[in-house]
Amino acid sequence: FRTLDDADLAGKRVLVRVDLNVPMADGKVSDDTRIRAVAPTINEIADKGGRVILLAHFGRPKGQPNDAMSLKHIVTAVGAVIGRPVAFADDCIGADAEAAVAGMQDGDVLLLENTRFHAGEEKNDEAFAAALAKLGDLYVNDAFSAAHRAHGSTEGIARKLPAYAGRSMQRELEALESALGKPERPVVAVIGGAKVSSKIDVLENLSSNVDALVIGGGMANTFLLAKGVAVGKSLAEPDLVETARRIMAAADKSGCAIVLPVDVVVASEFKAGAASRTVDANAVPDDQMILDIGPQSIATVNGWIDKAKTLVWNGPLGAFEVPPFDTATVAAAKHAAERTRTAGLNSVAGGGETVSALHLAGASDDFSFVSTAGGAFLEWLEGKPLPGVDVLRQG
Ligand code: 3PG
């Protein structure tokens, strides 16, 4: 695909798809990571004399404009991060948008209203994509985290204008390529989270692509069940025991080690400070639930991290939101961060919860790459095509 290095930007109207779907608290942006991720692209285009027209969605308004999901609430935060004024237009297509674009000078930045206020965005209809494309000379996609959606502003428009990857998109794709495309082996994947059901395709894809698959969090309980181990009151999905067996068989066939907890931390309820103890994974009492993996299991996970040249991480190892059940997640994240600093481990993490867990462990700065994506990172782990990326490759 083409990048900003290939684009002639001076004097051009450049439509830039960014992901401004950021967390808000009390009407203010509470985490500006995604804005910081796209700032280099915006500033580079503006510095080269391009007119930057930002396209973004916020929330899931399903084609219905509403004040709470207006991007006008984000304008100040974008301006603060990029360090230049940002104008705003009340619509992303039509007369208002056209007038706002017509009034721009070289180097100006304009944010257009939520693309999802038009049903044509999610339908990816021709007319909507054409109305967007009309506003610009070039299109740059810098929103990897929205690239799993075949929408007007991520896919349709890229077929109508010369299309380029922005710097954040480029960095995401390079990191992902280094982790699963052409990785240095051994590759170890750590996959956690509550449910197998949300990550079946991830586990299936990884089980034939990585050298070891560490399974933690609630989903490990379903795998323990599949091995005939009783898990007491733990969160588990008995319906997926067969799926878990299939994944283990596939891993076995392709020489991928499946790493399950050998000891676990249990409590009678899921509550902060609940009395907890460590037991063997095959000795969980009937009235107890597994809330974290135990010290021996942490040592095993860290041992795999020591062997790895490449680490892919998605999902916590325990119920990390409630201490002390964050112990394993924090310990393994710290260990991976240290191996990245001292032993050249290539560590790539992604997914909303994962990023919070790494922050909690103070480990995110040391990881080689932390993706800004949630759903798109998962779809990539599933080995699925990402429409917003594929269309750039065709261009
Ligand atoms: C995200 O927050 O992961 C992206 O912005 C995509 O949002 P969506 O899941 O509503 O498409």
What are the residue ranges spanned by the domains of the chain?
Answer: 4-167, 174-381
* Pairwise CA distance, residues 191 & 199, whole Å: 9
What does the pLDDT read at residue 273?
Answer: 83
pLDDT tens, residue by residue, 198-212 = 999 999 999 999 999
Average confidence (pLDDT) over 36-51:
98
Report CA 284 to chain centroid distance, whole Å.
Answer: 33
* Pairwise CA distance, residues 95 & 27, whole Å: 28
Residue of 34, 51, 171, 339 marked active site? 34
Q: Which of 110, 132, 134, 136 is nearest to 120 (CA)?
A: 132
pLDDT tens, residue by residue, 156-178 = 999 999 999 999 999 999 999 99
Catalytic (active site) residue 34? yes
What does the pLDDT read at residue 219?
Answer: 95
Cβ(115) to ligand 1 under 6 A? no
Q: Which two tokens stand for residue 26?
A: 């009390």
Report CA 122 to chain centroid distance, whole Å.
Answer: 20
Does 369 have pLDDT greater than 70? yes
Q: What phi, psi does 11 have (nearest 5°)?
A: 75, 0
What is the distance in A from the centroid of ligand 1 to the CA of 120? 17
Q: What CATH number was assigned to the domain covering residues 174-381?
A: 3.40.50.1260
* Pairwise CA distance, residues 7 & 167, whole Å: 13
Cβ(19) to ligand 1 under 6 A? yes
- CA-nearest residue for atom 4, ligand 1, is 146
- What share of the chain has pLDDT > 70, as a percent? 100
Q: Mean pLDDT, the chain, as a whole number? A: 96
**Any residues with CB less than 8 A from the CB of 239 and at least 6 apart, and which?**
none
* Pairwise CA distance, residues 46 & 55, whole Å: 15
- CA-nearest residue for atom 3, ligand 1, is 374
Per-residue b or e along 46-58, where b marks 16 or more CB atoms closer than 10 Å to that residue's CB: bebebbbbbbbbb
Cβ(62) to ligand 1 under 6 A? no
Residue of 375, 383, 384, 395 marked active site? 375
Residue of 148, 149, 379, 380 to mutate, ligand 1, most atoms within 8 A of C-beta: 149
* Pairwise CA distance, residues 142 & 1, whole Å: 13
What is the distance in A from the centroid of ligand 1 to the CA of 288? 36
SS3 state of residue 195: coil
pLDDT tens, residue by residue, 265-323 = 999 999 988 899 999 999 999 999 999 999 999 999 999 999 999 999 999 999 999 99
What does the pLDDT read at residue 240?
Answer: 97
What does the pLDDT read at residue 395?
Answer: 67
Q: Is the ipTM of this complex over 0.90?
A: yes
Catalytic (active site) residue 72? no
Helices and strands: H and E segment counts in the chain:
14, 17
Q: What phi, psi does 117 have (nearest 5°)?
A: -75, -10
What does the pLDDT read at residue 331?
Answer: 97
Average confidence (pLDDT) over 127-131:
98
- CA-nearest residue for atom 9, ligand 1, is 375
The CATH number of domain 4-167 is 3.40.50.300: no
Cβ(146) to ligand 1 under 6 A? yes
Q: What is the pTM of this model?
A: 0.94
**Cα-atom radius of gyration of the chain, to the nearest Å?**
23
Q: In what order do the strands lie in the sheet with 276-280?
A: 276-280, 263-267, 289-293
Residue pair 297/263 in contact (Cβ under 8 Å)? The answer is yes
